């Protein structure tokens, strides 16, 4: 599954901290603490989601080899 979304270009003018005059940095480009300014305020980053793998829940991860596989393995 490829990520189709591309990161949008942001500037300090779009930053929550700049909009509320909480930033003391004088940088030419946004820093790593950039947070988008929303009308409802500072929102925490979205959490990662659990994705359960269906094949793991229906199949055994490992099984003993069959008798035919054992015979083929040790016959050489
Ligand atoms: S916190 Fe970083 S991204 Fe936000 S305004 Fe200040 S320098 Fe720019």
The domain in which residue 18 lies consists of 8-36
Q: Are 19 and 37 in contact (CB under 8 A)?
A: yes
Does 20 map to a domain?
A: yes
Residue 59 confidence (pLDDT)? 67
Atom 6 of ligand 1: nearest residue by CA position: 23
11 touches ligand 1 (CB under 6 Å): no
| Better-predicted residue by pLDDT, 46 or 11 | 11
Number of compact structural domains in the chain: 1
Say whether 15 sits in a helix, a strand or coil: strand
Q: Are 6 and 26 in contact (CB under 8 A)?
A: no
How far apart are alpha carbons 34 and 29 in whole angstroms? 10
Does 71 map to a domain?
A: no
Does 28 map to a domain?
A: yes
| Better-predicted residue by pLDDT, 15 or 67 | 15
| Better-predicted residue by pLDDT, 73 or 16 | 16
16 touches ligand 1 (CB under 6 Å): no
Q: What is the mean pLDDT of the chain?
A: 82
């Amino acid at each position: 599954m490829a990520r189709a979304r591309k990161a949008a270009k942001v500037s300090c003018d779009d930053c929550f901290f700049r909009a509320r005059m909480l930033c003391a940095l004088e940088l030419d480009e946004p820093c790593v603490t950039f947070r988008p300014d929303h009308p409802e305020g500072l929102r925490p980053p979205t959490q990662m989601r659990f994705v359960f793998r269906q094949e793991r829940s229906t199949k055994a991860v490992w099984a003993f080899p069959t008798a035919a596989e054992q015979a083929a393995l040790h016959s050489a």
